[in-house]
Structure 1
């Protein structure tokens, strides 16, 4: 499981002002072993938090780049299923105006065309979160079934 981590505010260097364009990010990843769909969610979250805390200690952009390249090659070589997720919540996308008005809908496209990707974004009204989920067909069917089962309990 891979989670994209924004490092822009963590990498403090005089020649990289806050208003500079571009991203400074890396991935926190954890291996999750699940027997027949059973996994301990608390354990997964604890492992992911630990990985994020280790990454947040990095202050050198070159070291960060090396780590990201190593993670990409590890994920590419890994034959098991990989799920990448990220949250774009609280990014002011709906406040951007390039002269033709603010956007009505923002959609984040992942760079992974055939992978399992979950991206969270704010709703246009700002009072909720939308999940953009890209899964392989057989896994999407399982996901949809779980979402429907949980939504039945919320009604």
Structure 2
């Protein structure tokens, strides 16, 4: 990262955006410095929460567990052949994980409402990308 995170930092990196590609491209040195030194993150959360509560914004939560050495973990029974998440009790969450059996591919665990899942499962662009 530019600038680098402080040496004693840990935990999750959270970036809230109200659009995906265009906003993510704006995450640069100045943006990260503002996150570290101002109320930018808090103000962004409050703005998104206000829009969400007023039903103007669909909030999606993404997390990536890719490149974590989950398949190297051995608790005494050998390395796992498959790793997944536990049940996620909230909607609109996407968890990305490395696949153990498909080389460089990833698995996506997606939680949606039943109505949204039906639409998601029949989305032509999505179906063209999955195996």
Equivalent residues, number:
123
Matched residue, 1:108: 85
Unpaired runs of at least 5, structure 2: none
Q: Hey, which of these two has a bigger chunk of strand by percent?
A: 1
Mapping for residues 48-87 of structure 1, pairs under 5 Å? 48-51=24-27, 54-55=31-32, 57=33, 75-77=48-50, 78-79=52-53, 80-87=57-64
Q: Give the alignment of 1:6-155 within 5 angstroms.
A: 10-13=4-7, 16=8, 23-32=10-19, 44-51=20-27, 54-55=31-32, 57=33, 75-77=48-50, 78-79=52-53, 80-109=57-86, 113-125=89-101, 127=103, 128-146=105-123, 150-151=127-128
- Flag the 1:113–1:70 CA change in 2: closer, same or farther, 3 A: farther
The CA RMSD measured in Å over matched residues stands at: 3.6
Distance apart, 1:46 and its partner CA:
2.5
Q: TM-score when scaled to structure 2? A: 0.67
- The gaps in structure 1 that reach 5 residues or longer are 1-6, 18-22, 33-43
Q: TM-score, normalised by structure 1?
A: 0.59
Q: Work out which structure has the larger RCO, using CA pairs closer than 8 Å and 6 or more positions apart in sequence.
A: 1
